[in-house]
Amino acid sequence: MYDIPVSRPSTDQLMARYDGDVPGASLLVLKDGEPVVRRGYGRSDLERGIEAGPATNYRLASVTKQFTAAAILLLAQDGTLDLDDPLRQWLPSLPPATDGITLHQVLSHTSGLIDYEDVIPENMTAQLHDADVLRILEGQDRTYFEPGSSYRYSNSGYALLAVIVERASGQDFPAFLRERIFRPLGMHDTLAYVQGGPEVPNRAFGYSRIDGDWTRTDQSQTSAVLGDGGIYSSIDDLAQWDAALYDDRLLSDESRRLAFSAVTPTDDPAVEYGYGWRITGDSLWHSGETMGFRNVIVRWPQQRLTVILLSNRNDPEPYRTALEIAAPWLEE
């Protein structure tokens, strides 16, 4: 009886909750640079009955942070800024309490910056933008801890990094990403979405389960903040991003080493943090959660394996599913 093999659920079984007439997902598994799984499940738009597929674009939420970090690293490669620059060198309107913060600490969530979501003024009722985050933090002359002394995940920090990209480059953040990252890598449908700007092609709309029904919950007050979570992309475009992380076509060897190196422990003893990447053993990953979207990218560079799971629903959390999907290839 002990010799009976335990059967592993198939990929389609693991993804079954996304399938059918429900908010769905797109899944990509890359092995040695080639897609071994590439497909959609369920619907990207329930109201119009549009199926999710490899070209469906989802709001990445915090998966965006690796692109914001890459933008800063590109500017450092250019010599336009230095990762040890004081934050107030670029944003002098911030209060004196932020004096000791460097760009390195902002990238690694060791800045101690106040969470803007917790201190939004009552008179700010419209959608916020990255510049609004700066204005909010201008009124917060305090930090959670001495910069560099601890870890606290900070959407505030990455919103401020987007503002710095604009000031250092002379371009707006969406244009910088488009010209320096997306176009060079052939990520033609990926963009930092701004209302009134280019529309998102093949757009997935976000949904949440409320009182047993799927309800469209696509936008919140913070959905227009770009640096911490405003990029839309597809699994097909993210395959191009993944490929670029193996060589110096975009980021130099040193920049990639910095991004992928553990700077600090996090509040999870199994996880450390680099620049826009969580690090667990030999894997690099990041999840993203915002109103109506749950996403994850997990990379095992030594095994040349990547799993990307993007979904337009508030549940379930996809990280564990991605690990289960990856297991057969990791065991080869």
Task: Write down the catalytic residue from 62, 154, 233, 311.
Answer: 62
Cis, peptide link before residue 95, omega less than 30° from 0: no
62 a catalytic residue: yes
Q: CA-to-CA distance for 66 and 228, rounded, in angstroms?
A: 9
Handedness of CA 34, 201, 161, 185 (dihedral sign): positive
Q: CA-to-CA distance for 257 and 2, rounded, in angstroms?
A: 45
Contact 68, 165 (CB under 8 A): yes
Q: What is the DSSP letter of 38?
A: E
Residue 42: closest CA among 29, 32, 56, 28: 56
Q: C-alpha distances in angstroms, 111 versus 98, 154, 203?
A: 8, 8, 34
The side-by-side arrangement of strands in the sheet containing 25-31 is 34-41, 25-31, 305-311, 293-300, 283-290, 278-280, 272-273, 264-265
Tokens for 156, please give them.
């505030």
Task: Give me the active site residues, please.
Answer: 62
